[in-house]
Amino acid sequence: MKIVKKVAVALLIAFIAMQFYRPEKNQAQGDHTAQFLTETNPAAEIKIILQQTCYNCHSNHTEYPWYNNVAPVSYWLSNHIKDGKKHLNFSDWETYDIKKKDHKLEEIAEEVKEEEMPLKEYTWTHEEAKLTAEQRNAIVAWVQQTRALYQLNQQPK
Ligand code: HEC
C-alpha cells in the first residue's frame, strides 16, 4: 500500500508543477481573416460554420474553453492548434499563392465531406460544431464555386 501512496504523492506533485507552465495563447485581435473572407466571399451561413467549427484550430484566434486553464489539457489543446494552423490557417490566406489556395479549398471539401473535420474530439465538447449533411453539402458547394475562381486565374495567359 505504501508504494501506491508514494506514487500518488509523486503524481500530485507533478500535476501541481505542471500548472506553472502555460503555453502561449493563440489570440490575434481584429479582422484576422479579412483577406480570406473578402476573397472567397462565403455566404453568411458558410461564414458562420467556418467561424464556429474551424477557426479555433485553423486561425490566429482561439476561443478557449475554461478547462484550458488546467495542464496538461492546455498542452494538448495548444499542440492541436499549432498542428491545425500548420496545415491550414485562414488568417494567413494572403501568404498562400493561388495554387495553394485552390489546393487548400480542395482539402477542405474532402475533409468535410468525409467527416474527418472538425476533429471528433472537438465535437464531443462543441455541440455547435456537429455538422448536418446539409451544412456539409453547403461547404462543398461553396468550395466548388470558389475553386473555379482560382482555377480561372491559373490558366496560362
Ligand atoms: C480541434 C481542432 C480542429 C478543428 C476544430 C478543425 N480542425 Fe482541421 N485540422 C486539425 C489538425 C490537428 C489537423 C492536422 C492533422 C490532421 O490532418 O488530422 C487538421 C487538418 C486539416 C486540413 C488539412 C488536411 C491535410 O491533408 O493537410 C484541413 C483542410 C482541415 N483540417 C479543415 C478543417 C475544416 C474545414 C474545419 C471546420 C469544418 C476543421 N478543419 C476543424 C485540427 C482541427
Angle between helices 44-53 and 133-154 (to 10 degrees): 100
- Confirm if 132 and 53 have CB atoms less than 8 A apart: no
Chain centroid to Cα 70, Å, comes to 20
Owning domain of residue 146: 25-154
46 Cα–ligand 1 center, Å? 16
C-alpha cell belonging to residue 80: 492541436
Counting from 1 in the atom list of ligand 1, the atom nearest the Cα of 107 is 29
What total number of domains does the chain contain? Answer: 1
Q: Tell me, what's the pLDDT at 156? A: 61
Residue 149 lies in a domain: yes
- pLDDT (tens digit per residue) in 72-105: 999 999 999 999 999 999 999 999 999 999 999 9
Q: Tell me, what's the pLDDT at 157? A: 52
Q: Which residues of the chain have pLDDT under 70?
A: 155-157
AA letter at 88? L
Q: Tell me, what's the pLDDT at 152? A: 78
Q: Tell me, what's the pLDDT at 59? A: 98
Atom 10 of ligand 1, residue of closest alpha carbon: 84
Residue 101 lies in a domain: yes
117 Cα–ligand 1 center, Å? 6
